[in-house]
Amino acid sequence: MKFPKSFLKLIESLKKLPGIGEKTAEKSAFAIVKNQKLLQELIDSLNGIKELKLCIKCHTISEKEVCDICSDIHREKIIMVVESPYDMFHIEKLGVFNGKYHVIGGLLSPLEGIEAKDLFIEDLRQRIIDEDIKEVIIGLSPSVEGDATSYYIYEKIKDLNINITQIARGIPTGYEIIYADSITLQKAILLRQPFK
């Protein structure tokens, strides 16, 4: 028996999502087709995210030009540099950091053709000056690309009169922040070290 083309297209689309293989995509597709309420919720959600944009200050996803975190006047004058909005939301859920964020949108990777001009690094320096930031925490994953990007950022801002730290190395090298358990990540943030 052949499946309808639209059903096969749904499976192929689902397989493009991180962590979803053939079997999971098939199960999800059957669940969506079987449950019309779920189907409508997904349609509404997908239509809703068309309105999302990047915050003009920190570059996370937002419904407004300036996200809620950047707009919050009660946040400390600290910026944590992270790779993606996903990293930012993961850290934010812990409730141990009350500063602001700067999402750079990736890591330097010459092999993949990702250069500094492809990332949101250049405007970080101006943010530090404009917002009178006292500390920058480099919160990138401890990998070869993460370390190279961290060093590049450090070189760009080291002449400013600020404290530059990085999250503690409770997270092993080569490990992505999003997979760290909450206790390890909390300790990495709270026990951050001066950038070297």
Token pair 């530059």 is found at 164
| CATH code, 5-51 | 1.10.8.420
Closest listed residue to residue 59, CA positions, set 105, 99, 90: 105
Same fold, 5-51 and 53-194: no
| CA angle centred on 97, ends 80 and 156, rounded to 5° | 15
Q: Round to whole Å and give the CA distance between 121 and 115.
A: 10
In this predicted structure, what is the pLDDT of residue 9? 94
Q: Which sign, positive or negative, has the C-alpha torsion 136, 140, 144, 148?
A: negative
In this predicted structure, what is the pLDDT of residue 181? 74
**Domain assignments of the chain as residue spans, ordered by start:** 5-51, 53-194
Closest listed residue to residue 55, CA positions, set 75, 80, 76, 85: 85
In this predicted structure, what is the pLDDT of residue 38? 93
Q: Round to whole Å and give the CA distance between 140 and 112.
A: 18
In this predicted structure, what is the pLDDT of residue 97? 94
In this predicted structure, what is the pLDDT of residue 170? 65
Specify the fold of 53-194: Dna Topoisomerase Vi A Subunit; Chain: A, domain 2 (3.40.1360)
| The total number of residues written for the chain in this structure | 196
pLDDT tens by residue, the chain, 196 residues: 688 899 999 999 999 998 999 999 999 999 999 999 999 999 999 998 888 999 999 999 999 999 999 999 999 999 999 999 999 999 999 999 999 999 999 999 988 889 989 999 999 999 999 999 999 999 998 788 998 999 999 999 999 989 999 887 666 667 787 877 777 787 778 777 787 6
